[in-house]
Chains A and B, each alone.
Chain A
Amino acid sequence: MTHMTLNVNGSPHALELEPDMPLLYALRNHLGLNGAKYGCGLGQCGACTVLVDDQPVFSCLTPCSGLEGKAIRTVESLGTAERPGPLQKAFIETQAAQCGYCIAGMLMRAQTLLERDPHPDEATVREHMASNLCRCGTHLRIIAAIGRVARQERSAP
C-alpha cells in the first residue's frame, strides 16, 4: 500500500492504494464515484472513460501510480440529476441512453471534444467517438445529442 493524493473533480483525496491499482477501482471503490463503468477491462469499449488533464483515458488501464498532481475528472463533474450540464441535458432530450451503461464514458469523451472544438461537424464527432461502444446501438442518438450541443452553442449570443 502506498499513500497518494489524487485530485478528482477539483478536490484532493488522500488515499492508501496499491500503486498499480487501475484508476477505475480507486474511483468506484474508494471514492464512491460510480459513474465510470467497468466494461471490458481491455481498453476496447470506453465505458470507463474519464479525463486526466483534459485528455480522455480508459481508467481501467490507467494505474494510479502516475496520477498524483494531475487533474482527474469524472462524469459527476458535469452536473447532477437535478442540474444536469449542457451535454447531459442534450443526452436526456435526445433520449440517447437505452441501458445507459456506456453513457458516462460517452459523455466524458464527447466533453473533451467540445472543450477543444465547440462546433465540431458530424464527421469529426464520429471520428472522435469511434473508440466508445454502445451495445444497445444508440450511437446515432449519441451523435445527435453531441451535435445538439454543438449547434446550441453556435446559436447562443
Chain B
Amino acid sequence: MKARQLWMGAVLLAVVGAIVAVLLMWRPAIVPATAPQRFEAAQVQRGARVAEAGDCAVCHTRPGGRYLAGGLALVTPFGTLYSTNITPDAETGIGQWSLPAFERAMREGVARDGHLLYPAFPYAYYRRMTDGDIADVYAYLMSGPAVHSPALQNRMNFPMNIRPLVSFWNLLFLHGQPLTPVAQQSATWNRGRYLVEGPGHCAGCHSPLNPLGAEKSAQHLAGGMVDGWQAPSLLGLANRTTPWSREQLTGYLRAEVVEGHGTAAGPMRPVSLSLGNMPASDAEAIADYLLSLKDPAPIAPAAATARPAEVVEQAPGAQLFQSACAACHGPAAPMRQIDGRPALERTSALQAASARNFLKTVLEGVPVTPGLPGPVMPPFAASLDNQQLAALAAFLREQASPGQPWADLSSTLHELRQEAQ
C-alpha cells in the first residue's frame, strides 16, 4: 500500500514537473504574416531613429556584409553566437513576422516560430521601450531591402546550446518594466533615461555581469568588460578627477574627438557613430541623464604608495613616442592643429585605472569608417612589440597621472595578445 502511494506520488510529481517545464519553455508560433505591408513614410523615418538608438546595425551587420543581414560573431563566455538577418526576407529574415511577433521578440525574447532567443539580444532592455517606438522600428525594418542571408550556425557550449534553458534565465532576470517618466525631472532628462535604460541598452556593456551573463543589478552602470575592452563606469561622470561636461559628453557620444577625453574607440566606436546619426538633442539628453547619476562608492585614486618597486625609465618611451606617435599626437603635430587629434595625456584611456583601453587602442587603432573622413588611427599590433608598448604606456601614463604608474603592463599586454589570437 505504502509503495503504491509513493509510486503514485512520484508519477504525479513528474507529470506536474513536465507541465511546468512545458509551460515555462514552450511558446507558440505566431502565424506568418503573408500580405506585404505598407507603412507611412513618417513612421518609417521615426523608426530609423529608433533603430539607431537601439544600435540594431551594430550587431546585425557583419563587417563588409549587407545592412542588417546579420552574421556578426558575438563571442560570449558561453560560446559564439552569430547575429541574425533582420531584413524583411521571408525565408531567412523577419519577413514573416507580424507586429505582434516582433513585439513579443522585443519584450520576451521569443522568435516568431516560438524558439527562445539568447539574451545577447538585449530584450531585457528593449522590453522597456514604448509601444510606439517598437511599432516604428518594425515599420522601418519591414520597409528596407530584403536580403537573402541564412543564419550561421551558433557554436554554443553545453548546456547553453539547449535553447529552452533560456526560460530559466528569463525567470530569474527578465523583470524590466516599461519606464514611466519621473515627474520632477525635465523632459530632456527623461528622454535620456529612456534612451539609456531602454533602446540604448547601455547597461548591456557598462554593468558587470554575473556568472549567468546577466547584469548584476546592484552595480547597474558601474562598468563592465566587452570584447576585451573596459566599458567604464557611467556613475559619477561629473565628479571625477577629470570630470565630463555636458558638451564633452555630447560630443563624445556622437563620435567626435573631444578636448580632455579623446574619442570613442573599440566597441563604443560603432555605437557613437550610430548616435551621431540621431538628432544632437538625443545625445544631449543621454548626457543629461548620465551626468545626473551619482557614484555611491567612488574609487579612490590609487595612492602614490602603490608605485611599484622599480622606477619605470621614461627615456625609451619618450623616444618611441617621438617616432611612432608624435606626428599625430605631439604638441606641434599638424594632425593635432588641423584635424583635432587629442593630446594623449588628456584622454580617458590614459587616465583610467587600468591600462587595458589604452593598450587596446594602440594595438587595434581606430579603424576607417566608410564614408567618413576620420578620425583614423593605424593599428600598431605588428609595429611595436610588448616591451616597446610597455615603455610607451609607462611614459604616457606618467604624463597623464604623475606618480600613479600602471602596475600590470606586461601581464595585461600578454593577455591582450593572447585574446587577439
Contacts and interface: CB of A to CB of B under 8 A. Distances in A.
Contacts of A130: 367-368, 370
A53 interface: yes
A63 B327 contact: no
Interface in B376-398: 376-378, 380-385, 387-388
Contacts of A22: 323
A55, A61, A130 pick with most chain B CB within 10 angstroms: A61
Interface string A73-112: 0000000000000000000000000000000000000000
A126 B63 CA distance: 11
Interface in A1-59: 19-22, 41-44, 52-53, 55-58
B320 A61 contact: no
B420 to A, nearest CB: 11
Given A42-B327, A130-B370, A61 B378 contact: yes
B383 A58 contact: yes
B64 A123 contact: yes
A53 B382 contact: yes
A41 B334 CA distance: 11
Contacts of B377: 43
A63 B320 contact: yes
B376 A44 contact: yes
Contacts of A42: 327-328, 334-335
B64 A126 contact: yes
Contacts of A19: 319
Given A42-B335, A131-B376, A62 B383 contact: yes
A115 interface: no
B239 interface: no
Interface string B112-132: 000000000000000000000
B320 A41 contact: no
A28 to B, nearest CB: 16
A56 B323 contact: no
A44 B373 CA distance: 11
B96 to A, nearest CB: 27
Contacts of A41: 327
Contacts of B383: 52, 57-58, 61-63, 66
A62 B382 CA distance: 9
Interface residues of B, number: 27
Contacts of B176: none
Interface string A113-157: 000000001011011001100000000000000000000000000
B382 A57 contact: yes
Nearest to B387: A66
B45 interface: no
A56 B382 contact: yes
B64 A62 contact: no
A61 B324 contact: yes
A85 to B, nearest CB: 22
A43 B64 contact: no
Given A19-B319, A57-B383, A66-B384, A127 B378 contact: no
Interface string B181-221: 00000000000000000000000000000000000000000
A7 to B, nearest CB: 15
Given A21-B323, A22-B323, A126-B64, A58 B378 contact: yes
B384 A20 contact: no
Nearest to B386: A66
A139 to B, nearest CB: 12
A57 B128 CA distance: 46
A61 B328 CA distance: 10
A22, A62, A124 pick with most chain B CB within 10 angstroms: A62
A143 to B, nearest CB: 13
Interface of A: 19-22, 41-44, 52-53, 55-58, 61-63, 65-66, 121, 123-124, 126-127, 130-131
15 contacts: A20-B320, A21-B323, A42-B327, A43-B377, A43-B378, A53-B382, A61-B378, A62-B383, A63-B323, A63-B383, A65-B388, A66-B385, A123-B65, A127-B63, A131-B368
Interface of B: 63-65, 319-320, 322-324, 327-328, 334-335, 367-368, 370, 374, 376-378, 380-385, 387-388
Given A58-B378, A121-B64, 16 more contacts: A20-B323, A22-B323, A41-B327, A42-B328, A44-B335, A52-B382, A56-B382, A58-B383, A63-B319, A63-B320, A63-B384, A63-B388, A65-B388, A66-B388, A124-B64, A127-B63
